[in-house]
Amino acid sequence: MLTKGRGTIVVLPAVVWLAIFFLLPLAFILVVSLGSRDELGRIVLDRPSLDNYRRAFNPDYLPTLVNALRYALLTTVASLLIGYPVAYWISHYGGHRKALLLVLVMLPFWTSYLIRTYAWMIILRDNGVVNGLLRAIGLTSEPIILLNTDFSVVLGMTYGFLPFAILPIYVSIDRLDDNLVAAARDLYASGRSAFLHVTLPLSMPGIIAASLLTFIPAIGDFVTPDLLGGAQQTTIAKVIQERFLDGRDWPFGSALGFILIAVTMVGTLIALRRVRREIVGE
Amino acid sequence: MSDPRDGSRNQVEQALERYLTEQQMTRRELIERIGALGALVALAPIVAACATGAASVAPSVVAPTATPARTTAAASAAPTATPVPTPVPSPESELIVYNWLDYIGEDVIPSFQEKYPVKVKYELFDDIEVAYAKLGKDGSGYDVSFPTSVDIPRFSAAGTIIPLDKSLLPNIANLGAEWKNPGYDPDNTHSVPYVWWTTGVGYDTKKVTDSPTSSKALWDPRYKNHISMLDDYQEAFGLALIQLGYSANTTDTTQMDAALALLKQQKPLLRTYSSDTVGTMVSGDVWIGQIWGSDLYQINQENENISFFIPEEGGVRGSDTAVIYSGAKHPIAAHLFLNHLLDAKVSASNTNTIGYMGPNEAAKPFIDPAILADPAVNPDKAILAKLEELLDLPNAVDQEYLTRWQALKAGG
Amino acid sequence: MNRERNRFLSAYALLVYAFLFAPIVVLIVFSFNDSKRTFVWKGFTTEWYAKLLANDDLLAAVGVTVQVAIVAVIFSTVIGSLLGVGLARLRFRGRGSTETLLLLPMVTPEIVMGLSLLLFFVALFDSRGSFAQLSVAHITFCISFVAVTVRSRAAGMNPHLEEAARDLGASALGAFRYVTLPLIMPGIVAGALLALSLSIDDYVVSTFNAGIGNTTLPLYIYSAIKFGVSPEINAISTIVVAFTALAILFAWRVGTFRGEDRQASEDAEPTAG
pLDDT in tens, chain C (273 residues): 454 567 888 899 999 999 999 999 988 888 888 877 656 777 888 888 888 888 888 889 999 999 999 999 999 999 999 999 888 877 777 888 888 899 899 888 888 899 899 989 988 888 888 899 999 999 999 999 999 989 888 887 777 887 888 888 888 778 888 888 888 888 898 889 889 989 998 988 998 898 888 899 988 888 776 666 678 888 888 888 888 888 777 777 776 655 544 445 455 444 443
What CATH number has the domain bearing residue A105? 1.10.3720.10
The answer to whether the pTM exceeds 0.90 is no
Flag whether residue C170 sits within 8 Å of chain A, measured between CB atoms.
no
Residue from the list B154, B271, B284 with its beta carbon closest to the beta carbon of A148: B271
Question: Closest by alpha carbon to C138, among C218, C212, C59, C58?
Answer: C218
Distance between CA atoms of residues A14 and A21, nearest Å:
10
User: Considering only residues 177 to 206 of chain A, which have any Cβ-Cβ distance to chain C shorter than 8 Å?
Assistant: 177, 179, 191, 202-203, 205-206
pLDDT (tens digit per residue) in A215-249:
988 988 888 888 898 888 888 888 888 888 877 78
Which of B157, B232, B279 lies at the smallest CB-CB distance from A40?
B157
Long-range contacts of B45-54 (CB under 8 A, 24+ apart): B45/B74, B45/B77, B45/B78, B45/B81, B47/B114, B47/B115, B48/B76, B48/B77, B48/B78, B48/B111, B48/B115, B48/B343, B48/B345, B49/B77, B51/B107, B51/B110, B51/B111, B51/B114, B51/B115, B52/B107, B52/B111, B52/B345, B52/B346, B52/B349
Min mean pLDDT across B34-43, B287-296, C148-157 is at B34-43
Q: Is residue A19 part of a domain?
A: no
Identify from A2, A22, A97 which residue to disrupt to test chain C contact, counting C C-beta atoms within 10 A and taking the largest count. Answer: A22
More confident residue, B52 or B121: B121
Average pLDDT in the B288-305 region? 86
CA distance C129 to chain A (A): 15
Kindly report the CATH number assigned to the domain that includes residue C142. 1.10.3720.10
User: How far is it, in rounded angstroms, from Cα B148 to Cα B138?
Assistant: 17
CB contact at 8 A, A170 and A136:
no
Do B359 and B210 share a structural domain?
Answer: no
Cβ distance C191 to C88 under 8 Å? no
Task: Give, for B94, the enclosing helix (H) or strand (E).
Answer: strand B94-99
C119 part of contact set with chain A, CB < 8 Å = yes
Q: How many domains does chain B have?
A: 2
| Amino acid in the structure at residue B49 | A
Residue A34 to chain B, least CA–CA distance (Å): 17
Identify whether residues B175 and B108 lie together within a single domain.
yes
Q: What type of residue sits at position B250?
A: T
A174 within 8 A of A91, measured Cβ to Cβ: yes
Q: Is A132 on the interface with B (CB under 8 A)?
A: no
Number of domains in chain A: 1
B217 and B96 belong to one structural domain: no
Residue C255 inside a domain? The answer is no
Angle at B131 between CA B130 and CA B132, to 5 degrees: 90
Assigned domain for A136 exists: yes
Q: What is the pLDDT of residue B258?
A: 95
Say how many CB pairs under 8 Å bridge B and C.
82
- Nearest Cα to B5, choosing from B162, B168, B185? B162
Residues of B in contact with C215 (CB under 8 A): 123-124
pLDDT digits (tens, 9 = 90+) for B70-118: 333 333 333 344 444 456 678 888 898 988 877 888 888 889 988 888 8
Question: In chain A, pLDDT over 70 holds for what percent of residues?
Answer: 95
Find the CATH number of the domain harbouring B290: 3.40.190.10
Q: Are C30 and C46 in contact (CB under 8 A)?
A: no
Cα of A108 vs its chain's centroid, Å: 17
Q: Are B282 and B346 in a shared domain? A: no
For chain B positions 6-25, those within 8 Å of chain A (CB to CB) are none
The phi and psi torsions of B228 (rounded to 5 degrees) equal -135, 155
A119 belongs to a structural domain:
yes
The answer to whether A175 contacts C103, with C-beta atoms less than 8 Å apart, is no
Domain co-membership, B187 together with B247? no
Spatial separation of the C-alpha atoms in residues A146 and A155, rounded to whole Å: 10
Q: Does A66 touch chain B (CB under 8 A)?
A: no
Q: Hey, CA dihedral for B310, B314, B315, B317, is it positive or negative?
A: positive
Q: What 3 state SS string does chain C have?
A: CCHHHHHHHHHHHHHHHHHHHHHHHHHHHHCCECCCCCCCCCCECCHHHHHHHHCHHHHHHHHHHHHHHHHHHHHHHHHHHHHHHHHHHEECCCHHHHHHHHHHHHHCCHHHHHHHHHHHHHHHHCCCCCHHHHHHHHHHHHHHHHHHHHHHHHHCCCHHHHHHHHHCCCCHHHHHHHHHHHHHHHHHHHHHHHHHHHHHHCCHHHHHHCCCCCCCHHHHHHHCHHHCCCHHHHHHHHHHHHHHHHHHHHHHHHHHHHHHHHHHHHHCCCCCC
From the list C133, B275, C121, C115, the residue with the least C-alpha distance to A241 is C115
Secondary element (H or E) of residue A43: strand A43-44
Write down which chains contact chain C via at least 3 CB pairs under 8 A.
A, B
Q: Are B406 and A242 in contact (CB under 8 A)?
A: yes
- The helix (run of H) or strand (run of E) holding residue B270 is strand B270-273
Q: How many residues does chain B have?
A: 412
- Residue of chain A nearest B227, judged by CA positions: A231
Q: Does residue C109 form part of some domain? A: yes
Share of chain B above pLDDT 70, in %: 78
Average pLDDT, chain B: 78
Query: Does C5 fall in a domain?
Result: no
Question: What does residue A49 show for φ and ψ, rounded to 5 degrees?
Answer: -160, 170
The string of pLDDT tens digits covering residues A13-66 is 999 999 999 999 999 888 888 888 776 667 777 778 888 888 888 888 888 888
Q: Is residue C6 part of a domain?
A: no
Number of domains in chain C: 1
Same domain, B38 and B124: yes
Q: Which residue range(s) make up the domain with C226?
A: 46-237
Give alpha helix (H) positions in B159-252: 233-243
Most confident listed range (A37-51, A92-106, B195-209):
B195-209
The number of angstroms, rounded, from the C-alpha of C140 to the middle of its chain's C-alpha atoms is: 14
- Report which DSSP code applies to A199: I
Instruction: Identify whether A3 is part of a domain.
Output: no
SS3 B357: strand
Position B183 confidence tier, pLDDT thresholds 50, 70, 90: confident
Residue A118: which domain range? 50-280
The partner residue sitting opposite B302, judged by closest CB among C40, C207, C220, is C40
B contact chains, 3+ CB pairs < 8 A:
A, C
pLDDT at residue A5, rounded to an integer: 62
Domain match, B85 and B9 both: yes
Phi, psi of B57 (to 5 degrees): -75, -40
Contact B402 A37 (CB under 8 A): no
Return the pLDDT at A133. 87
Q: Which helix (DSSP H) or strand (DSSP E) does residue B347 occupy? A: helix B344-354
User: Which A-chain residues 47-86 have CB contacts (< 8 A) with chain C?
Assistant: 82-83, 85-86
Strand-pairing partners, residue B124, are B99
**Longest pairwise C-alpha distance within chain C:** 71
Could you report the predicted ipTM of this complex, rounded to two decimals? 0.84
Q: Is residue C227 part of a domain?
A: yes
Range of the domain at B206: 197-318+376-410
Closest CB from A125, A242, A244 relative to B285: A125
* Within a domain: C269: no
Shared-domain flag, residues B145 and B221: no
Nearest CA in chain A to B270: A231
Length of chain C: 273
